[in-house]
Amino acid sequence: MPNTTPHQARFTRRGFLTTTGAAAGAAAFAGPLLGAAPARAAAISNGASVPALVIGTGYGGAVAALRLAQAGVPVEMVEMGMSWDTPGADGKIFPKVTSPDQRAYWLRTKTKAPVSNFFGFPIDSNITKYTGVLDAEEFAGITVYQGRGVGGGSLVNGGMAVTPKRERFAGILPSVDANEMYDVYYPRANAGLGVGQIDPVWFESAACYQYARVGRKHAQRSGFAWTFVPDVYDWNYMKAEQAGTVTRSALDGQVMYGNDHGKKSLVQTYLAQAFATGRVNVSTLHRVTNVTPAAGGGYTVAMEQIDTSGNVVATKTVTATKVFFAAGSVGTSKLLVKMKATGALPGLNNEIGKGWGDNGNVMCGRANHMWDATGTLQSTIPCSGIDNWDAGGAFAEVAPLPTGIETYASLYLSITKTTRRAEFSWNAAANKVDLSWQTAWKQDSITMAKTIFDKINSKEGTIYRTDLFGGYKIWQDGLTYHPLGGAVLNKATDNYGRLHGHPGLYVIDGALIPGNTTVNPFVTITALAERNIERIVADDLL
Ligand code: FAE
């Protein structure tokens, strides 16, 4: 596949429409969990010429690859992380949250757990530097957690698959037709991702969701709307885990460093479909470093091949007719900001790097009374949330703390309506991209989250935990799991993700979304990618 030529990108519009209509899309993904189709994973050749190159294999990249391939276009995906398909010496592909090893972190020598302390004691440990699955990327004011490997964030996330309330959509993506999104693209994304909801009857008795039932009780007693949250975890598998009939994953402390079983990551859904077309190849442990117009048309894409210690073992250049930036909000923004500043892509406009937000993420824990035990067995997959968006600007996941012992703690990740937006900029002296986020800005999010938890604490006669994020620290205000923006739709790009100034370059990931989705973001990223790629294939690739 690497040495295909641009003329192979020719295909008919009719062929595309018949394979990607809403009905066909839904049918393709209905039915039981698909096995992970192996990627065609021959490393791309130096000097190759390809019709379509996709940088990154997360949500945006997977949608782009599938729809392009279904339309007849050979696709080369370039992914800086590994393909997570081989068990380690312990027989597991991924480590548990309580025992991270080298597989857990991207090129770090010490873990950086979001819950960093327990009873005040630091819990991070030394590990071997390795191309692990979770990147805790540090900027001056914030640590941004991201997935690394084939499947991107879908490898490490909690699978919470939330479609924002329709009346809130205009505030998320003002230039996008909400009717189209809610009639066509959100349903298509939900079907494609394999989104499902917990059996509410089973929920009432499952030991592993005692923590969520306690969370519900406290929320409702304070008058808050509590809601189940859909997820891509296979709920029947979860039931079997609780019953003890299958190998446990969510009930064995796996999530943030990957799940061996149960979770429908992109590897089981969009990417499996993409690879099944026979037109998609992935080069793993390849990191794109530059994109610039090629002399004869198209773009020259430079990349480094790395080993599992992060050393560069080869550099390559490839020519691509179309390039899709799907390296995630941070990855895409860093590339574009650097290439604009260095003159590699001089036509990019001044919106590049702007509009970045943290989706208002902030975490806290509450200390329950002894009669409100949250359970020694906790599913790592959250299934519920507290919605105080309209009154207080916060939507809080009731999160697990799967330590294996009774902690009497309730943990929450809040998504808040922060208006703070940061900007990426090129730091020539240090040869890196900086982000202008300030930790103090999280105070807005804390204030919004407190509209929920101050009230619950007051009603229950409880207090915040102060031992989870450092000594005497109530709020985890130093991170985000939900980076969004940096190449905002209809600003840095046109209304479909085409980058201004350079025809044939597209952004198709979380970088398009300006900082906030009111809920967990990946369904919106997927739905927007579905919308945009349909238009791009129809209009640009004929
Ligand atoms: P993403 O999935 O990050 O994919 C980008 C890919 O590009 C990655 O595989 C990178 O390794 C790769 N890449 C980056 N730079 C380069 C380069 N230069 N060359 C080659 N490859 C590159 O992007 N969201 C939810 O909706 N629900 C949840 O429950 C949830 N839980 C989360 C829990 C954790 C711990 C984390 C970290 C995130 C969570 N998220 C959740 C966020 C979600 O995973 C994230 O919004 C999406 O993965 C972003 O999708 P993108 O397609 O933008």
For 17-53, the pLDDT digits (tens) are 333 333 333 333 323 333 444 455 689 999 999 999 9
Cβ(230) to ligand 1 under 6 A? no
Q: What angle do the packed helices 22-29 and 186-193 form, to 10 degrees?
A: 20
* Alpha-carbon distance values, 342 to 339, 433, 446 (Å): 5, 12, 38
Active site residue 351: no
Contact between 516 and 360 under an 8 Å Cβ cutoff? The reply is: yes
Going from the C-alpha of 123 to that of each of 100, 334, 469, the distances in angstroms are 11, 31, 10
Contact 319, 51 (CB under 8 A): no
Q: What share of the chain is helix, strand, coil (3-state, %, to 5)?
A: 30, 25, 50
pLDDT of residue 118: 86
Answer whether 355's CB lies under 8 Å from 404's CB: no
Measured distance CA(155)–CA(132) in Å, rounded: 11
Q: How far is the CA of 272 from the centre of ligand 1 (A)?
A: 18
Provide the pLDDT for residue 542: 52
**Biggest CA pair distance of the chain:** 72
Type of residue found at 115: V
**Nearest atom (ligand 1) to Cα of 60:** 52
What's the gap in Å between 533 CA and the centre of ligand 1? 19
Give the model's pLDDT for residue 280: 97
Q: Which of 76, 397, 530, 534 is catalytic?
A: 397
Reported pTM: 0.94
Give the Å distance between the CA of 458 and the centre of ligand 1: 37
| Distance from residue 153's CA to the centre of ligand 1 (Å) | 3
Backbone dihedral angles phi then psi of residue 357, each to the nearest 5 degrees: -140, 170
Does ligand 1 lie within 6 Å of residue 331's CB atom?
yes
Q: Copy the structure tokens of residue 455.
A: 């009230």
Tell me the best of 80, 83, 263 to mutate to test the pocket of ligand 1, counting ligand atoms within 8 Å of each CB and taking the most.
80
Catalytically annotated residue among 218, 261, 286, 482: 482
Q: Are 516 and 172 in contact (CB under 8 A)?
A: yes
Closest CA to 452 of 381, 358, 360, 356: 360
CA dist 368 and 382 (Å) reads 19
Spell out, as residue ranges, where the chain has pLDDT lower than 50. Answer: 1-38
Per residue in 235-261, pLDDT (tens digit) is: 999 999 999 999 999 999 999 999 999
Q: Find all residues with CB under 8 Å of 323, minimum gap 6, and list them.
A: 52, 53, 55, 291, 299, 301, 504, 505, 506
Q: Which ligand 1 atom is the nearest neighbour of the CA of 160?
A: 29
Which residue CA neighbors atom 40 of ligand 1 most closely? 157
Choice from 53, 54, 59, 395 to test ligand 1 binding pocket (greatest atom count within 8 A of CB): 59
Phi, psi values for residue 362, rounded to 5°: -150, 145
Please enumerate in sequence order all residues whose Cβ is within 8 A of that of 453, keeping only pairs 6 or more positions apart, or say none: 364, 366, 396, 412, 464
d(CA 101, CA 127): 6
Of 266, 305, 381, 481, the residue with max ligand 1 atoms within 8 A of its CB, to mutate for a pocket test, comes to 481
Q: Is 241 a catalytic residue?
A: no
Both tokens assigned to 219: 């929320």
